[in-house]
Structure 1
């Protein structure tokens, strides 16, 4: 079924579309069409969405229907809108685009693009030897059907041992292996969030978590993180009491995108608050292996769980390699079995060979993760130095771990900056992609997973674009190359 957007909803997403940089020399219809393309570019308007009728949008924006008609015509000409008499108009994809490995729509000829839209590192050198060793182990499993909904026993045991080493006693029966952390979250939501249920998330937060919640048609409430201090404990616990969500999703370890680390005291209070509110707590530990400054890590949130309220999810994407597609769920053994029953209707189990590769990588975890931390520390310091030199008016806190930096810009220009940066060969993830309803335009996520030279060059180009936004004679709207 095609999703529709009402005139008032689209007007709210468009915001102050008529006051973008350089707007005064652009015709109204061109500015409106460009603003719609901008919504497509940063993911706030999805593909296949039926737009409101021309008259309805004209009334919502308080402009003439002629202007809306011309804007829709311009969108059809650039391939961003398809119309059929009697059926309406819906968003489409321009020619020459494809789905990239990040899940975003990108052009085929973008090999020279510096991609800061994806916060993931290349594979470690140990991956190939691990794959060869896994291939040698594979014959042991070839006599069976190969379906393991909860995962290979040896990988479940390895993940359980890692949790126990962190201070939370875990048995293999409490672990389910998934095809990445995103699937882990999706399965938990399928089990725990009936359609229309209230859910509490941080803002900003991981965009794909918002997408998964939207697929469940959850009623999302948010708790805002401060750019300098992170969580406000009293406000977070107050939000739990007031909204009484069915589930709360948090990223306490080097939060994506802000990089903050939740203190132990708040972790304990959060678990108690979730229990009092009758809420399940989903803890995303994707970045737990990546402290960069030698700090002592607080205990896992699950340490404080006495009532089976905490479900932890994690995986190998950030410390190892995203292409491996190995994630996991840590929960009570009965909950793992319920998740496995749901999982067999999705994919029956993760690939055996990839799970065996993961086993070998986890055996070499101390050396592999130490090298990854050193690499990320060097790259973080390089991008921090570049930002301070070339964009001194931007404000940020140097993250003590993880892979991302959250910058507050000198104006609500994140989407406009991201669109313009692609013309200079830099792909960005603008702030609104990490929140709801088009907010966070003053913020930008800057990952530091690429080579240091590429990061410095990207900042140089971004600084040039930032200068051009203030001096451009007119906007240069182009076909977006990042469309979700």
Structure 2
């Protein structure tokens, strides 16, 4: 089912479309068509969306219907719109092409490579002590088989206690420990999304979530996020939920990956109510919830507004602690946790006991470890922002008040080309199309601030040098596809 975008909704997305750069004396219909193409390229207007009727859009923009008719005709001529008489017009890409994304990796032993493709921190100093203490705790578990499909009891209790501290009553029976957040999402999808079901995701969103949905052969519908806070257009998001009625919606409300946006509390409540009315389950990815910067106040968990067991929360240790500690979790209704455990037995049986005991020790020292992480991330974020302002002043960045990434709007649709070229000068990037569908988002680039300030400054210096010489022809070099984390 196509998403219907109404006239007032599209007018809000278009904003000051007359002011967009273009040739002198460009007619209004040409400027309007160009603005719509820009929304498609940036992923804010999804592909396959049904645009408003000409009269509806003309009234919303306070322009003549003739102008809208001409703009739609230009969009059809350029291949960005498909129309059927009496049925409407739908967004598309020219000739149905998908624009390939490019994120590239070079060998792991390339010591000069500055890796900005992976948004994860190195291990905290406390990890070694936690591992030693966990090894001392291990003998208590050696008398059994070591299989705990829902996780060892003390870690489930520690995770439940963290939810209680955030104002969400939770017991250990509502927690399932997984081998990372990615497995948590995979298990939820295995249980709740039959092959071919429709799923709603944000655009941009986490690439590995898109990969997990593709593995389930889900039919993906997107909701475009804006570059400015708060990112979500409540009217469009909730309207899309009502129209599409997906089996499941996947959202990252806490310092969204990659934009860094924080969903307002009122939208969280409305999102839960609308999802319930539409018969959709919500999967809420809380990977970054422990990383608020600048004293940002994090709203209550989305699950706090759930009255019908329709919200499943997932999280893990990778972002605040260390990606090498493969510990994640699911918070759901206790019966659903048991069903997930039954699905999990056919995948990997259980998470390593020793890793879970390390996680228990780290969570016990959470306050001190996370405080150090926040100070580190704040300094690194500010260093990256300063370097971008000095070297690439034409790029636009909304300062994130949490998480670990910047979402930069470039000075042209060159994200994939820039990533390819930067690989040759020792900088690995995650281009915008990796975070969306069909090759959109070429004007954007995710830049994590998880490396030391000196590395970030050097990376930006190399990126700037490449950007200013990007138009010169270069020999194509093929490399292995990247994994974005």
Q: When the two structures are superposed, what TM-score results if normalisation uses the length of structure 2?
A: 0.77
Q: Does the 8 Å CA contact 2:377/2:449 hold for their aligned counterparts?
A: yes
Q: Does the 8 Å CA contact 2:104/2:419 hold for their aligned counterparts?
A: no
Task: Please state whether the residue corresponding to 1:407 is helix, strand or coil.
Answer: strand
Q: CA deviation at 1:198?
A: 0.2
Q: Does the 8 Å CA contact 2:409/2:444 hold for their aligned counterparts?
A: yes
Q: C-alpha separation between the residues in 2 aligned to 1:105 and 1:324? A: 22
Q: CA deviation at 1:108?
A: 4.6
2:334 is matched with which residue? 333
Q: CA deviation at 1:296?
A: 1.6
Q: C-alpha separation between the residues in 2 aligned to 1:337 and 1:481? A: 39
2:256 is matched with which residue? 255
Deviations 1:402-444 (A, max 9, x none): 0000000010000000000011100000000000001100000
For residues 238-277 of structure 1, the aligned pairs below 5 Å read 238-277=239-278
Q: What stretches of structure 1 of length at least 5 have no aligned partner?
A: 1-102
Q: Structure 1 residue 199 and structure 2 residue 199: aligned?
A: yes
1:22 is matched with which residue? none
2:475 is matched with which residue? 476
Q: Does the 8 Å CA contact 1:106/1:482 hold for their aligned counterparts?
A: no
For residues 148-297 of structure 1, the aligned pairs below 5 Å read 148-229=148-229, 230-297=231-298
Q: CA deviation at 1:105?
A: 5.4
Q: Does the 8 Å CA contact 2:104/2:420 hold for their aligned counterparts?
A: no
Q: Does the 8 Å CA contact 1:225/1:232 hold for their aligned counterparts?
A: yes
Q: CA deviation at 1:362?
A: 0.2
Deviations 1:188-230 (A, max 9, x none): 0000000000000000000000000000000000000000130
Q: Does the 8 Å CA contact 1:419/1:480 hold for their aligned counterparts?
A: no
Q: Does the 8 Å CA contact 1:107/1:481 hold for their aligned counterparts?
A: no
For residues 375-386 of structure 1, the aligned pairs below 5 Å read 375-386=376-387
Q: C-alpha separation between the residues in 2 aligned to 1:124 and 1:109? A: 22
Q: C-alpha separation between the residues in 1 aligned to 2:270 and 2:146? A: 42
Cα gap change, 1:104 to 1:211, in 2 (>3 Å): farther
For residues 54-453 of structure 1, the aligned pairs below 5 Å read 106-229=106-229, 230-453=231-454
Q: C-alpha separation between the residues in 2 aligned to 1:119 and 1:148? A: 30
Q: C-alpha separation between the residues in 1 aligned to 2:351 and 2:149? A: 7
Deviations 1:46-103 (A, max 9, x none): xxxxxxxxxxxxxxxxxxxxxxxxxxxxxxxxxxxxxxxxxxxxxxxxxxxxxxxxx9
Q: C-alpha separation between the residues in 1 aligned to 2:327 and 2:179? A: 5
Task: Please state whether the residue corresponding to 1:469 is helix, strand or coil.
Answer: coil
Q: C-alpha separation between the residues in 1 aligned to 2:112 and 2:465? A: 18
Q: C-alpha separation between the residues in 2 aligned to 1:480 and 1:464? A: 22
Q: CA deviation at 1:477?
A: 1.1
Q: What stretches of structure 2 of length at least 5 have no aligned partner?
A: 1-102
For residues 42-53 of structure 1, the aligned pairs below 5 Å read none
The CA RMSD over aligned residues, in Å, is: 1.1
Cα gap change, 1:381 to 1:430, in 2 (>3 Å): same
Q: Does the 8 Å CA contact 2:254/2:289 hold for their aligned counterparts?
A: yes
Q: C-alpha separation between the residues in 2 aligned to 1:460 and 1:407? A: 15
Q: C-alpha separation between the residues in 2 aligned to 1:164 and 1:456? A: 40
Deviations 1:259-298 (A, max 9, x none): 0000000000000010000000000000000001112210
Q: C-alpha separation between the residues in 2 aligned to 1:479 and 1:196? A: 33
Cα gap change, 1:425 to 1:104, in 2 (>3 Å): closer
Task: Please state whether the residue corresponding to 2:324 is helix, strand or coil.
Answer: helix
Q: C-alpha separation between the residues in 1 aligned to 2:124 and 2:482? A: 29
Q: C-alpha separation between the residues in 2 aligned to 1:441 and 1:294? A: 32
Q: CA deviation at 1:104?
A: 7.8
Q: C-alpha separation between the residues in 2 aligned to 1:190 and 1:215? A: 10
Task: Please state whether the residue corresponding to 1:107 is helix, strand or coil.
Answer: coil
Q: Does the 8 Å CA contact 2:313/2:331 hold for their aligned counterparts?
A: yes
Q: C-alpha separation between the residues in 1 aligned to 2:163 and 2:477? A: 48
1:28 is matched with which residue? none
Q: C-alpha separation between the residues in 2 aligned to 1:108 and 1:140? A: 38
Q: CA deviation at 1:476?
A: 2.3
Q: When the two structures are superposed, what TM-score results if normalisation uses the length of structure 1?
A: 0.78
Q: CA deviation at 1:479?
A: 2.3
Q: Does the 8 Å CA contact 2:104/2:428 hold for their aligned counterparts?
A: no
Q: C-alpha separation between the residues in 2 aligned to 1:129 and 1:326? A: 18
Cα gap change, 1:483 to 1:366, in 2 (>3 Å): closer
Q: C-alpha separation between the residues in 2 aligned to 1:429 and 1:291? A: 23
Cα gap change, 1:384 to 1:340, in 2 (>3 Å): same
Q: CA deviation at 1:396?
A: 1.1
